[in-house]
Each structure stands twice: as C-alpha cells, then as structure tokens.
C-alpha cells in the first residue's frame, strides 16, 4: 500500500446529496429567522383583512368573487416578493452566501435547495392566505382546496424558481429590493395569467353549486363538481407545469453564471 492510499478520501457531495444538505440548512434558517412564514404569511393575512374591509358591503356576486380571487393573487405576488427579498437579504447581510459558494457542492444544488424550500414556505403562506380568504371574504375556497392547492403549488414553484435566480443576481446591487420587484414581475406574468384564470374558474364553479343549493335546485355531488372543475382547469395546470419546468431548467442552467464572482 503506498502513502497516498493511506490518506482519507474526500468525496464531494453530488447534486441530490448537496440539495438535501442545503435544504436542511434552509429549514433550520427558517426556524431561526421566520423570513418566509413570518413576513410573507403575516403580509398575506393583513392584505386579506384589508381586501375584506373593501368588500364588506358587497353581496357575494360572480364579479365580487372574481375580484376577490384577483386580489388573492395580488397578495400572493406581494408575499412572494417579500419572502424572496427577506430570505436572500439575510444571506447577503451576514456574508453567509459567499461562504455557501465555497461549499464543495454543485452550485445548482444551492439553487435547487432554495427553490424547494422557498416553494414550500410560499405554499405555507398561500395556505394561510386561502384560509383567510375563506374566513374573511366568504369564498368557497375550502371546498375548492383540492384543486386550488395544485394551482398554488405550481404557481409558487415557477415564481420561486425565477425569483431565486433574479434575487441571487441582484444580491449586493444598489436598490436590490425595488429592482427585484421590477425585474421579476414581467417574467412571472405568464404564470399568473394561467393561475388567475384557473383559480377563478374553480371557485366560480363551487360558488354556482352553492347558489343552486340555496335556491333548492338540483346540484352536482362534490366529486362531480371537482371533476367538472378539473376538466375546466386541466389545460391551465398543464401549462403551469410546462412554464415551471422551463423556468426551473433555465434556473439550473444559469445559476452558475448568476453567482459567478
């Protein structure tokens, strides 16, 4: 046995292992700082309360319902920007991000860990948002949850994928927070065009069934309503998935260039 074989061998973690390790780090960071759920979740609830105040004298018509859903997506958008800004701002302030780049993991694993954790946290904030909307805006979101959740998860995935990429790009740039909002919004509008349409259609179908039940007319069963709503939004869900895959693919390819020092 020669001398070199006695030395301990160090194997750099691969993409999946690196992502797993860094994902645990993101969870630990969130437990300590509440950067996402604290800021984004609270902001979401406050926005819902204010929207509820605006609609307090309005009867629950189709127009009000569509407007409320648009307002929910606006709250989701703001919550996402605040969450991404806070979580990446924290890394930048402590200089932790430079240390992160020294880790012997592929750079894409940093990106993937941030995207997965950010999506989970934004979904958490969205859940708070939807429950708040059910409570304060009297929308049938609880019944529509099995379909609203996939729409939220897919929207959050694409949004965080592009947000993390741009957030890392503008890290350390003057006026970073305003710049992130300005640059991210045009890129996520295609995502939101599909998500707003799908969300509104799902809630409208459940609202129609509620109105029919109140008037004593014959209604569809819950599973039939779900099936009808799903067939209405299946195309949008597919497109959301396609846009998510595109943004995630671009993110993985470009992240190395974004964080290049």
Partner 1 sequence: MNPVFAPRRELFFWVAAVLCVVGVVGTVWAMYYAYISIPPHMPHDSFFIMKPENAAGNNPMKLYHSYRIFFLHLPSAYATMFVSLTMGLSGILYLISKKRHWDSLISAATQVGIATCLLTMATGFFWGDFAWGIGWSGEPRLNAVLVLWLSYLALLALRHSIPDPNKRAQLTAIYAILTLPIYPFAKYAIEIYGEVNHPPNLRAIIGDENIINARSLAIPSLISLYAFFVVLRFWHLEMRRDMSRIRRAMQELGNS
Residues near partner 1 (CB under 8 A) are 162, 165-166, 169-170, 173-175, 179, 182-183, 185-187, 189-190, 193, 197, 235, 239, 243, 246, 250, 254, 257-258, 260
Record the tokens describing residue 246, joined without a space: 């595109």
Q: How many whole angstroms separate alpha carbon 187 and alpha carbon 159?
A: 9
Burial label, 93 (beta-carbon count in 10 A; 0-12, 13-18, 19+):
exposed
Q: How many whole angstroms separate alpha carbon 183 and alpha carbon 181?
A: 6
Min CB(20)–partner 1 separation in Å? 27
Of 197, 208, 80, 64, the residue nearest 143 (C-alpha) = 208
Min CB(114)–partner 1 separation in Å? 16
Q: How many whole angstroms separate alpha carbon 121 and alpha carbon 116?
A: 9
Min CB(89)–partner 1 separation in Å? 16
Min CB(33)–partner 1 separation in Å? 26
Min CB(175)–partner 1 separation in Å? 6
Are the C-beta atoms of 200 and 69 separated by less than 8 Å?
yes
């Amino acid at each position: 046995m020669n001398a070199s074989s006695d030395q301990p061998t160090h194997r750099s973690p691969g993409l999946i292992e690196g992502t797993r390790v860094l994902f645990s780090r993101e969870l630990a960071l969130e437990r300590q700082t509440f950067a996402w759920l604290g800021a984004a979740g609270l902001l979401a609830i406050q926005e819902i309360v204010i929207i509820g105040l605006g609609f307090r004298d309005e009867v629950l018509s189709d127009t009000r319902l569509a407007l409320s859903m648009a307002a929910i997506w606006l709250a989701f958008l703001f919550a996402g920007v605040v969450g991404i800004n806070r979580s990446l701002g924290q890394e930048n302030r402590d200089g932790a991000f430079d240390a992160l780049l020294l880790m012997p993991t592929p750079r894409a694993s940093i990106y993937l860990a941030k995207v997965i954790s950010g999506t989970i946290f934004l979904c958490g904030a969205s859940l708070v948002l939807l429950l708040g909307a059910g409570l304060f805006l009297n929308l049938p979101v609880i019944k529509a949850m099995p379909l609203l959740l996939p729409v939220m998860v897919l929207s959050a995935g694409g949004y965080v994928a592009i947000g993390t990429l741009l957030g890392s790009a503008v890290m350390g740039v003057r006026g970073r927070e305003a710049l992130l909002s300005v640059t991210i919004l045009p890129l996520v509008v295609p995502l939101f065009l599909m998500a707003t349409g799908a969300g509104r259609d799902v809630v409208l179908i459940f609202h129609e069934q509620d109105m029919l039940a109140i008037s004593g007319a014959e209604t569809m069963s819950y599973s039939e309503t779900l099936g009808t709503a799903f067939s209405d939004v299946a195309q949008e869900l597919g497109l959301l998935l396609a846009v998510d895959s595109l943004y995630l693919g671009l993110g993985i390819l470009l992240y190395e260039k974004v964080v290049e020092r």
